Amino acid sequence: MVFELINRHREDFMGRLQAADREAESTARAAVRKVDGLQAAIEQVIKGKPEAVRLAIVTLIAGGHLLVEDVPGVGKTTLAHALARALDCTFQRIQFTSDLLPSDVLGLSVFNQHTAVFDWKPGPIFANVVLADEINRTTPKTQSALLEAMAEGHVTVEGRTHPLPPPFIVVATQNPIEHHGTYPLPESQLDRFMLRLRIGYPGVEDEREILRDRERANPLNELRPVMSGADILELQQQVAEVSVDDALVDYLMRIVTATRETEMLDLGVSPRGTLALFRAAQALALTEERAYCVPDDIKRLVLPVFAHRLLVSSRFSSSLRRSEEAEAVLSEIMKTVSVPL
């Protein structure tokens, strides 16, 4: 009698476990269909750059912010526009210049003569997708206006806190080549970006296709929304439910610890950066139709998530740009960290 009861409970437990696995797989498949639809829509405009588009989507569904750093004319701003147009969400573009003020970004209170009270006028930061174009062309004072918004999802102006509409993502662009009239982003600002990516020049055939696509019209103008804000929030919730094994957490922490202990770096990865890679790996796994992470998720994301947070020691600096130096050091660190089987 006792053994029958135990077997019945065991079978019931295994049945619930299998049902939960099937539900997780079904959820992952539904998420992948949405992500693939969004990627296909963006790739109507951004040709031959599937990895850059995928990383932008990973940042979006992981609830982070994206820094696109590349030479002029390769599609940094176009990527942000395509992402915004493919989403049924509000969008604002802020062209950062040297005379831009924090109030031009956040908003301000204006005295209403009819009511004799101050009316709150929200700035362009109050949108679901905000393009901070050429973010390094404005002063540090205006750059810092984004810190609270990117870290906490709200802004405080004149002692009053105003929540930003969810979902909320800042897509910033900057040119790493030109330094005249620019203000390098401080470490605190860089640390707010979950990922930094480069687009790079297109291949010959891709560029030929770009020419033909834009022969008579801009395909960006024909892009239609394929995902709503509610879909994004649902995906962000699903991302948080992707499982990460303890062995992968240990692997991640070994990488982080190595960046903090090596003499090649003056500044290692912050706890915010650790959490960013953890969440980005969950998002990447979901886009690959998995309800669990694997070591390749972390290895694939280490450079875009960690490199812009590192500061290479002057003793090991070279002729490379700062971003390339950090990537080179990080690549060497990755060779010394054992990968869990």
SS (H, E, C) 151-185: HHCEEEECCEEEECCCCCEEEEEECCCCCCCCCCC
Whether residue 6 is contained in a domain is answered as no
Backbone dihedral region of 63: left (phi > 0), alpha (psi from -120 to 50 degrees) or beta?
left
Whether residue 80 is contained in a domain is answered as yes
Same domain, 195 and 289: no
| Single residue among 188, 219, 241 that ends a domain in this structure | 241
CA dist 306 and 326 (Å) reads 9
Same domain, 213 and 332: no
Same domain, 285 and 237: no
Question: CB–CB of 133/77 below 8 Å?
Answer: yes
- What pLDDT is attached to residue 80? 92
Same domain, 91 and 189: yes
| Single residue among 216, 241, 266 that ends a domain in this structure | 241
CA dist 11 and 23 (Å) reads 18
Which residue, among 202, 139, 201, 132, has the nearest Cα to 173 in the 3D structure? 132
Same domain, 162 and 283: no
- What pLDDT is attached to residue 42? 95
- What pLDDT is attached to residue 32? 87
Same domain, 203 and 133: yes
- What pLDDT is attached to residue 332? 93
Backbone dihedral region of 289: left (phi > 0), alpha (psi from -120 to 50 degrees) or beta?
left
Whether residue 2 is contained in a domain is answered as no
User: Which residue in this structure is represented by tokens 């109507």?
Assistant: 44
Whether residue 198 is contained in a domain is answered as yes
Total count of residues recorded for the chain = 341
Instruction: Report, as ranges of residue numbers, the positions in the chain whose pLDDT lies below 70.
Output: 1-11, 13-27, 318-321
Distances (CA, A) of 230 to 55, 61, 91, 124, 235: 20, 11, 15, 21, 9
State whether residue 60 is helix, strand or coil. Answer: helix
Same domain, 80 and 142: yes
CATH number at residue 330: 1.10.8.80
Same domain, 111 and 248: no
**Residues 52-85: b if buried by 16+ CB within 10 A, e if exposed:** bbbbbbbbbbbbbbbbbbbeeebbbbbbbbbbbb
Same domain, 123 and 235: yes
Cα 267 to the center of its chain, rounded Å: 21
Same domain, 55 and 138: yes
- What pLDDT is attached to residue 158? 85
| Single residue among 203, 226, 241 that ends a domain in this structure | 241
CA dist 58 and 35 (Å) reads 9
Q: Which helix (H) or strand (E) segment is 81 a member of?
A: helix 76-85
Into how many domains does the chain fold? Answer: 2
Domain region containing 218: 20-241
- How many CB atoms sit inside 10 A of residue 20's CB? 11
Same domain, 220 and 257: no
What's the pLDDT tens digit per position in 85-130?
999 999 999 999 999 999 999 998 888 888 878 888 999 999 999 9
Same domain, 234 and 250: no
